[in-house]
Structure 1
Amino acid sequence: MPEKAQAMNQKLTKTLEGMKASYPYYNPHYKNDLPDKEKVPTVLSHSQKGSIVECTYQENGARVLRANLLYTLNGGEPAEEWFRTPAKLLPGSKLSATLPKGTSHYVISLIDENNFLVSYPEINKPTNNKPTSLKALRVTKKKTKSQ
């Protein structure tokens, strides 16, 4: 039977890779112990200037391998739809991402070498039928001279 399980696992892995699916991440807010949970990165600050979002983070023992910008075009709607786009890791524990046109709300996610996902702002509990955008960052619009 272990051979059958291994064959099924290989088939599933091949299918997921073909779909470019992402695998689940560890939750640093999980109440019980997890190896390397204390090493997750911390977001120190973020800023938005026009369509550019920048973020500074601190590594606490685990290297940040990648980051994403999660965004919605319809924040506050009953059926929000969220999308993911890669953020660019920069020297000095910084990252940068471009907000797609029409973005209303966004979240930054960091994935470390131990496969933990850290979101900023923290969205560590279900939103219980409320829009996720209530916990996300709201896009600030650049004021024009007439405002």
Structure 2
Amino acid sequence: MQEVYCTGSEYSLAYDILRQLTTELISQGYSIVIDGTNLKFIYRQQIYNDVSCPDTTLLYLKVDYKTALNRISQRGVDFNDSKNIKSQITPETFDRFKNQLEEPLANENSVTLISDDSLLAKINSIFSAIYTWIPTNKGKYK
């Protein structure tokens, strides 16, 4: 399988569009999920600046190496042949991505969640507490 890479200008355009959508959705009161493509602080900072929301909280999901590679592989499984893994990511590729990651900085309003078997229950509990606490959402999910 041949790897396809985007050019710098294509990445820039994609991030611009994501930031515009982020700003629009947050201004409408929605909570959003920003995935690992915003692994660098500078990208997250642009979103923080665009939304002009000083109370924005980053929920940082820290996934261990084995779990991450397993999830990537599962997404690429051919269900007709479970041994046919479509994902071509290797541990080396994952390491390169992981080495670029900038975890939340001390000045970012963030909560770090460690991925484990009880993670979804923890996330639901956290979101319930957040949405109950935020008066503008009146305790409801959007």
- Higher RCO, 1 vs 2 (CA within 8 Å, ≥6 residues apart): 2
Q: Which has the higher helix share?
A: 2
TM-score of Structure 1 vs Structure 2, range by shorter chain: under 0.3
Question: So what's the TM-score if we normalise by structure 1?
Answer: 0.24
